[in-house]
Amino acid sequence: MSISIEGISKHFGSFQALRDISLDVPDGQLVGLLGPSGSGKTTLLRIIAGLETADEGRILFQGEDVTRLHVRERRVGFVFQHYALFRHMTVAQNVAFGLDVLPARERPPAAEIRKRVQMLLEMVQLGHLAQRYPVQLSGGQKQRIALARALSMKPQILLLDEPFGALDAKVRKDLRRWLRALHEEFHFTSVFVTHDQEEALELSDQVAVMSAGNIEQVDSPQKLYAQPSSRFVFDFLGQVNVFAGEVEEQVLRQGEAWVRLPQPPQAQALQLYMRSHEVHLQTMPAAHAHLPLRIDSISLVGAEVRLELSPIGWESEEPWEIGITHAQFNSWQPSRGDQCYAAPQVSHAIAQGADAPETIRWQAGEMDDPAAMI
């Protein structure tokens, strides 16, 4: 079932939580609402569910206007951040709750409810815990029970508010993988709220990035990461290294640092945004860049070694962070306090006063021999 959000605005007193929001969620897609706290993503989710009322605009399910429908009539499944399980009920009773409270004419027979509850518990791999109480469950188990309860009503739309926010990293990753597989099997339409960039990019078919009640960009995870449309999206989607300066004869300079640009820019003041994988480190300056850095910390994180670096002879608002392979680390053997040089391969230039980035790529002939790199 598709969802169309048309011109939704919402005030809480003098505070405007949403500003003329429009968004289309195609049938069967899993869409993430990503943004910092206070960006309006949970308010939008609650308006879709019918738990909040918009001041302006419309909500349509499969082309039907449901803006004025009560939450019960929308028949959506809603999974809350903190589970909202009833402590005095068993796991099976929690899952059955939505069915048990239906009006008599709509309520399935008791035997069918028991059968559906058991099927759902088996689906979330917790059939053996049917008679336990929430206090006896782990966080990951509680979240699965909350999801099973939402699915018990056979919703065509599933809404999830920070579904994994209260869980530890390992459980969160396992449940993300499980939810993605469940979604692909049953093909329901889902919208979920998160402030976790990795979670949004891993789970979603489309991601809507929100800021201050506005939608900044809606795109596939791949395009969103590779082609952010604004400075905010770039800053919010993961670690980014920034070099700012003034342009002199096609060279961007700041203090003792400089980068030779492959083509003349249109502006005199630029910021170059570079993700970790778009920058190589060298023991000597590159032909097209002189960006001296000092190693402040070294962290072995999974498959890579993460270096935190600070500028030498120039300034950056945030420390730089660049990952190298374990093979590079073992060959180079860097230590805290060592000096090295950044060699940009790809950069995204944002002119002073502008918002949209322009991608810059250096060709092989403009850079040093790759053998000179670490």
Residue 246 has pLDDT above 90, yes or no: yes
Q: Which CATH architecture fits 3-227?
A: 3-Layer(aba) Sandwich (3.40)
What one-character-per-residue DSSP string does 83-150 give? ----TTS-HHHHHHHHHHTS-TTTPPPHHHHHHHHHHHHHHTT-GGGTT--GGGS-HHHHHHHHHHHH
Residue 184 has pLDDT above 60, yes or no: yes
d(CA 170, CA 74): 34
pLDDT computed for residue 357 by the predictor: 83
Q: Please compute the mean of the pLDDT values over residues 234-242 and round it to a whole number.
A: 86
pLDDT computed for residue 166 by the predictor: 64
Instruction: Tokens for 291, please give them.
Output: 């960006």
Biggest alpha carbon distance in the chain?
Answer: 80
Domain 239-372 indexed as CATH 3.90.1150.10 = no
Residue 74 has pLDDT above 80, yes or no: yes
d(CA 202, CA 256): 40
Fold: same for 3-227 and 239-372: no
Task: Give the best-scoring range by mean pLDDT among 8-17, 94-103, 150-159, 351-360.
Answer: 8-17
- For the four alpha carbons of 35, 13, 74 and 124, in that order, the dihedral sign comes to positive
Residue 208 has pLDDT above 60, yes or no: yes
> Given the structure tokens 């680390």, which residue do they identify?
329
pLDDT computed for residue 366 by the predictor: 58
Residue 373 has pLDDT above 90, yes or no: no
d(CA 190, CA 29): 6
Kindly indicate the confidence band of residue 63, based on its pLDDT and cuts at 50, 70 and 90. Answer: very high
Q: Please compute the mean of the pLDDT values over residues 110-123 and round it to a whole number.
A: 91
pLDDT computed for residue 250 by the predictor: 92
Give tens-digit pLDDT for 266-290.
Answer: 888 999 999 998 999 999 999 999 9
Q: Are 309 and 319 in contact (CB under 8 A)?
A: yes
Kindly indicate the confidence band of residue 68, based on its pLDDT and cuts at 50, 70 and 90. Answer: very high
Residue 309 has pLDDT above 90, yes or no: yes
Domains of the chain, residue spans: 3-227, 239-372
Instruction: Tokens for 264, please give them.
Output: 């003349």
Give tens-digit pLDDT for 19-43.
Answer: 999 999 999 999 999 999 999 999 9
pLDDT computed for residue 226 by the predictor: 82
d(CA 357, CA 360): 9
